Amino acid sequence: MSYLLFYVPITLVVMIVLETCKRDDPREIAKRSLASFGLLTGVLALGSVLVFLINKYL
Amino acid sequence: MNIFRTWGYGALVGGLTIGVALAILRRTPGAATMLTAIPVVVAACVILVSCIIGADAHRRRQAMAFFAGWLMPGLGHMMIGKVAKGLFLFGLLAVTYFFGLWLSGWRTVSFDDNPFYHVGMYGSGLTTALGFLLGDPKAFPRDDIPKAWFDPGLLYVCVVGLLNLVMMLSLVDFRKQSTKPVTAPAAAEPVKAVASAPAPAPGEGVQG
């Protein structure tokens, strides 16, 4: 198993703690945490693809 | 008391800056720890005393919650009445912390492992105490798991302390929210008064 998979639990923990400090509703906390996690992962994935393409073709 | 609080904040920031600067330079780990720990402890005591002496009962409770939150993650939230949230946050951070300890062979982050991760451990009194109890000059990767997992383990241990700082800051934010005066909706009255006022005669509002 790649150590990169450790990114998932630690990022989820960070997002849950941040949202729990801001809100009281558990459903809202879960929803916002997953949304933030998805957004961050998407941005990182897009950035990785961009860096890969730049390194390969430029 | 505000002057003491200001000096306390100054010493807190100064101590952390000196500690991080020495950590970057990687010189004299013992001196870096002492130069960080002494101003931080002194500043924390000054801020705590100034908050307790010069404030009303509600603010005193919030100040105590802030420092209790440093001692044990989630304890501050429990003190302000959010028991379930405090227990949830404590459980979440405890699982993360012990998972990190398991990955790193039940040893906390020493200065030689990673100076930045080491400073992050001071974000909570509990992790600081465990760091002194379990700390070794140098942690070693476990043999039964891949060696690449060692660094994420140190990161998990460090992140718990940093997240506790965020939780403490949320207690300060809660204090500001809870002390905000409750205002009655008074917007309807002026509108009604304006609506019921007699219409001005033509040319009455023109000056000159």
Q: Are B163 and A13 an interchain contact pair (Cβ–Cβ within 8 Å)?
A: yes
B96 in contact with A at a CB cutoff of 8 Å?
Answer: yes
CB nearest A20 (choices: B85, B96, B169): B85
CA distances from B184 to A54, B191, B196 (A): 59, 15, 22
In tens, the pLDDT along B83-109 reads 999 999 999 999 999 998 888 888 777
- Residue from B82, B96, B124 to probe the interface with A (highest A Cβ count within 10 Å): B96
Q: Output the pLDDT for position B205.
A: 44
Contacts of B93 in chain A (CB under 8 A): 13, 17
Q: Output the pLDDT for position B54.
A: 66
Q: Identify the weakest region by mean pLDDT among B89-98, B129-138, B189-198.
A: B189-198
DSSP summary character for residue A5: G
Beta carbon pairs, A and B, within 8 Å? 44
Q: Are A14 and B163 an interchain contact pair (Cβ–Cβ within 8 Å)?
A: yes
B86, B74 contact by CB (below 8 A)? yes
CB nearest B88 (choices: A9, A20, A22): A20
Residue with the bigger pLDDT between B124 and A35: it is A35
Q: What is the pTM of this model?
A: 0.71
| Assembly ipTM | 0.89
In this predicted structure, the answer to whether residue A41 has a pLDDT above a threshold of 50 is yes
Nearest-CA neighbor of B126 among B175, B174, B201, B73? B73
Nearest-CA neighbor of B119 among B164, B162, B170, B68? B162
B73, B160 contact by CB (below 8 A)? yes
CB nearest A3 (choices: B82, B149, B169): B149
Q: Which helix (H) or strand (E) holds B187?
A: none
Residue with the bigger pLDDT between A39 and B5: it is A39
In tens, the pLDDT along B2-56 reads 666 666 677 677 767 766 666 656 555 566 566 666 666 777 777 777 666 766 7
The pLDDT > 70 percentage for chain B reads 59
